[in-house]
Structure 1
């Protein structure tokens, strides 16, 4: 399976993330009208609150081409389903997308997307500006808050120069279930990923202490694409993270869930594609293969096993997944 870097000491999380709702400004070093016209600087800040009427999307602040639809309630008023919208449907050189979601005490939100995210081929002429394509997602959960984060897959086009970061801030009484699925190139269209780069960092802070750090940097020169200790020639990889209050301090419950997941994977003869680890009380299921559809199907099945134990709820798949 995929080997990644983890460290217990990380000095990231820039101060600017604390006020992501402010008006977006171009990154330092970018100047000139031609450059500004070729890039989107988008920010979206969401806040969910709980009241006697259930979970509400209590605040939306946005700048640029990021938006949301109204919240849906297929499970009742306690859990708000929300679809994140990015009308350009892709990220090009110079683009910087920042998404911040704050889930207040006792609120429960489920986030997803109506389609795949895309990092397109980076521009070759760097005189027109930065070739990097950036996405930063910051999620903050208060006590007894629940967030489920299930975006559809991210497509990394050949020649992209992409950076994607995810920071999750939890209390010991909050619960997070979420996945990410990354597809390198378009092998079915005979467009393998053999140029460019993709970097991804995922971090979890528990009570403001870094508890999980996962980093991968892929480019054709470092051998990670083909090395047996890397992707081993596979084009799709994904993580499903389960950091639930009910499981943090109870190793027995975590082991029950791990055993159920492993039994299911054996029944599906999928154990060669997915491994599951208990990292300081955080469960991480990793997929490695060549099918985004297979990855998402397996992750949905893991969700079906985990949600009743972690949240005392059966899964309710977002309606947008069926359109």
Structure 2
């Protein structure tokens, strides 16, 4: 489809549908409007798992842009969704940029949602929302990583606004709800009860994971965390791994380590890192 731009920014929508055919997961539906696309699906670990990279050709999001991703996995399908690079949200002259993801995983299906980090430039105004709806015994393993400012360039998030929602539901009941609102220069960014002066934060969720992995994850992650803070907990069938520290790259490395330990237990498959994570 052709790209669609309005006076206030890009309006983009990507709708994906995954189906199981015999022993193979296929991308049976792929419709897009505006600058959201996918690369050709690839199968680095055989035909059972469909790996897809979501592309945003403009390379960054500006005030007024509206990006929406909907994905549905039919029974028995298994998909891994990632991005080829970090998401970048640029300084806005006033309007918010909005990014929304709604991911539906039906009974017997499994989704891995593993995008690279979102980098929010100083002066950006963004609203991001991700909702995962699980049905029956569907399994989910995924993360979201946020970096406020560009610490490698010495840029802090001294003005701008970032609103972030990350929700996990099963059969209409909430399993995990996270809401954050960060305004540049406000006390929450530096306070001990807030972000403690750290620019990068991340959350990994695993739904359907067997018990007994919390201690193993802590033992693996904590020695590598350095000055960052990591935590692992499990409640109501959801394992939660959190990161707060100086580097989005470190956050992704630690969560990738956690994913590598969780994947065999949750999905009965060895780790198969995306080729995009090492390019």
What is the Cα deviation at residue 284 of structure 1? 1.0
2:58 maps to 88
Q: Which residue of 1 aligns with 2:162?
A: 198
Q: Greater share of strand residues, 1 or 2? A: 2
Q: State the 1:270 CA deviation.
A: 4.9
Moved over 4 A (4+): 269-272
Compute the RMSD of aligned alpha carbons: 1.8
- Whole-Å Cα distance in 2 between the matches of residues 264 and 132 of structure 1? 39
* Cα distance between partner residues in 1 of 2:225 and 2:277: 25
Equivalent in the alignment of 1:32: none
Per-residue deviation, 1:221: 5.3
- Over 3 Å counting, the alpha-carbon distance change for 1:154 and 1:223 in structure 2 is same
Q: Select the structure that is richer in helix.
A: 1
Match of 2:239 among 258, 283, 290: 283
Q: Which runs of 5+ in 1 are unaligned?
A: 1-22, 26-34, 125-130, 248-252
Where 1:40 maps in the other structure, the secondary structure is: strand
Structure 2 gaps, min length 5? none
Paired with 1:207 and 1:86, the residues of 2 have a C-alpha distance of 31
Structure 1 segment 1-323 matched on structure 2, within 5 A: 36-124=6-94, 131-220=95-184, 222-244=186-208, 247=209, 253-254=210-211, 256-268=212-224, 270=226, 273-323=229-279
* TM-superposed deviation, 1:319: 1.5
Residue-pair matches, total:
278
Comparing 37-46 with 133-142, which one deviates more in the overlay?
Answer: 37-46
Shift of 1:210: 2.1
Using the TM superposition, name which of 72-81 and 202-211 deviates more: 202-211
User: TM-score by structure 1 length?
Assistant: 0.82
Would the alpha carbon gap of residues 230 and 123 (structure 1) be closer, same or farther in structure 2, given more than 3 Å must change?
Answer: same
Distance (whole Å) between structure 1 residues aligned to residue 43 and residue 221 of structure 2: 31
Task: Give the TM-score of the pair, scaled to structure 2.
Answer: 0.95
The answer to whether the Cα contact below 8 Å between 2:3 and 2:35 also exists between their aligned partners in 1 is no
CA offset digits 1:207-229 (Å, max 9, x no partner): 01222211000013541101100
